[in-house]
Amino acid sequence: MTRLFVERSPLVCLATSDAAGACDLSPRGDPAGFVRILDERTLLIPERPGNRLADSLRNILANPHVGLLFIVPGATDTLRVNGHATITTDAALLAPSTVEGKPPRLGVLVDIDEAYTQCSKALLRSHCWDPARFVDPASMPTGGQVHRAIQGEQFDAEQYDRERAERYRQRVGFY
């Protein structure tokens, strides 16, 4: 039954930590079922272009312990998976994860130690799937505004947001 969470999830959050225990949590998303079930104890998460910081990958090299949270839109239960990760560049293994004609260059293999569902209370309390409670995206700070707040007033937030919107419109770097 837990397979259905993996097969129907378009979004998984990957938790990693470095050798000193500093944590990082990073979302991974693609069409539902993008995380491949290789066998009863092994998952493959294709690594797509992202923010180029590679925090998760560096952490996995230093500390293989990972946690995953599979989220299925509309479902209030989630699936939690804990395990040990390795990075693969095996082209034959990654080929079935090709999207828009582009295979991933890397993948994260997760050897499952434990898997269990997480109860619905957090998603029910948060009303996460209730469209009446969706926030107007225009009321949130833009990525450029956040960068300016962190980096200082010299950062050109408007230019960053314009260029990012155009890249996203053209789907540049999605795959």
Is residue 110 domain-resident? Answer: yes
**Which pLDDT score is estimated for 156?**
97
pTM, rounded to two decimals? 0.92
Examine the domain organization and report whether 122 and 155 are in the same domain. Answer: no
**What are φ and ψ of residue 54, in 5° steps?**
55, 30
> Would you say 49 and 57 are in contact if contact means Cβ atoms under 8 Å apart?
no
**Which residues span the domain enclosing 140?**
135-169
The CA radius of gyration of the chain, in Å to the nearest whole number, is 18
Quick: pLDDT tens for 78-105.
Answer: 999 999 999 999 999 999 999 999 999 9
**Which pLDDT score is estimated for 114?**
97
**Which pLDDT score is estimated for 1?**
79
Examine the domain organization and report whether 87 and 142 are in the same domain. Answer: no
**Which pLDDT score is estimated for 53?**
72
CATH number of the domain bearing residue 10: 2.30.110.10
**Which pLDDT score is estimated for 5?**
97
Examine the domain organization and report whether 79 and 18 are in the same domain. Answer: yes
Q: What count of other Cβ atoms lies within 10 Å of the Cβ of residue 60?
A: 23
Examine the domain organization and report whether 146 and 71 are in the same domain. Answer: no
**Which pLDDT score is estimated for 51?**
64
Examine the domain organization and report whether 91 and 164 are in the same domain. Answer: no
**Which pLDDT score is estimated for 92?**
97
Examine the domain organization and report whether 38 and 57 are in the same domain. Answer: yes
Is residue 174 domain-resident? Answer: no
Is residue 158 domain-resident? Answer: yes
**What are φ and ψ of residue 40, in 5° steps?**
-65, -15
- Low-confidence residues in the chain, pLDDT < 50: none
Examine the domain organization and report whether 121 and 151 are in the same domain. Answer: no
Instruction: Give the number of domains in the chain.
Output: 2
Examine the domain organization and report whether 72 and 140 are in the same domain. Answer: no
